[in-house]
Structure 1
Amino acid sequence: SVATGTEIVEHLAPIFADHPTAAYVAKVRGVRLLGPTTALLRAIVGMIPPGAGDVNPAANAHQTLLAEEAAGTWRIVLFQNTPAQYHGRPHLVEQHTAELRPLLAPDR
């Protein structure tokens, strides 16, 4: 069976109530219109652990979102989150992290 929105909220609420969550930082790298009602968005993202002042490179990811407009409303058709591991290429890990650092809140 498919879970309802209420069931999902009830299941996840205790997790977020009892565990501090990381802050999230994202940078849109590009938006491309694929047609008059379809768009592709690419972004890089990172997380700042609770109490930390910097991005945790191990949590970096690439995100892709496909959206479609119908009757004046844009809706997500597909969302993909891929860990940015950069196996064996530490300079790419640092480049990804450095690109996100300017987006950190000034009080960090």
Structure 2
Amino acid sequence: MKNENKIISIYQDLLEAWNKQSAHGMADLFAEDGEQIGFDGSQSIGRAEIFAHLEPIFKHHRTARFVSKVKSVKFLSDKIAILRAIVGMVPPGQFDINPSVNTLHTLVVQEDEGNWKIKLYQNTPAQFHGRPELVEQMTEELRQLL
């Protein structure tokens, strides 16, 4: 359970860095060879590339704030874990989740010499094509966190 809390904490740090629009804060959470796959399919590999991808986004746009709920943390070994979460986004200046950009987050983290780092962060759109009731169900579950 102690390591599960560490994994959740890393994920919360990632979201906090996004919500604060901190490219350094996000990139520093990744392993040197960590990978990020964005909502639009953009892929960045390595801390430097992750920072270079995020920094202009944060510099030129007010990004929506993430609201998330961790659904599971599974350990593949003592040193590798997968976190899965549902996520909504609250646009700048608004107070409600925009269901059209709901997403699923997957995080793979690995411990190396006592430090847990992100190996993979994937942000996948959760539109459930043809099943609008699932979008609404997810949105309502996330609204309870606002």
Percent identity of the aligned residues? 54
Letter in 2 for 1:71: E
> Stretches of 4+ moved more than 6 A in 1?
none
Deviation at 1:19, TM superposition (A): 3.0
| Aligned residue number for residue 16 of structure 1 | 58
- Structure 1 counterpart of 2:84: 42
| One-letter identity of the residue aligned with 2:133 | H
Query: Once superposed, what is the RMSD of the aligned Cα atoms?
Result: 2.4
The residue that corresponds to 2:115 in the other structure is 73
Number of equivalenced pairs: 102
1:77-88 alignment to 2 at 5 Å?
A: 77-88=119-130
The answer to whether the aligner puts 1:33 opposite 2:64 as a matched pair is no
For structure 1, the 5+ residue unaligned runs are none
Deviation digits for residues 29-50 of structure 1, max 9, x if unmatched? 0001111111110001111111
- Tell me, yes or no, if structure 1 residue 5 matches structure 2 residue 48: yes
Aligned counterpart, 2:34: none
Which residue in the other structure is 2:101 paired with? 59
Higher Rg: 1
**Structure 1 length-normalised TM:** 0.81
**C-alpha deviation, 1:64, in angstroms:** 0.7
Residues 101 and 32 (structure 1 numbering): CA distance in 2 closer, same or farther, change over 3 Å? Answer: same
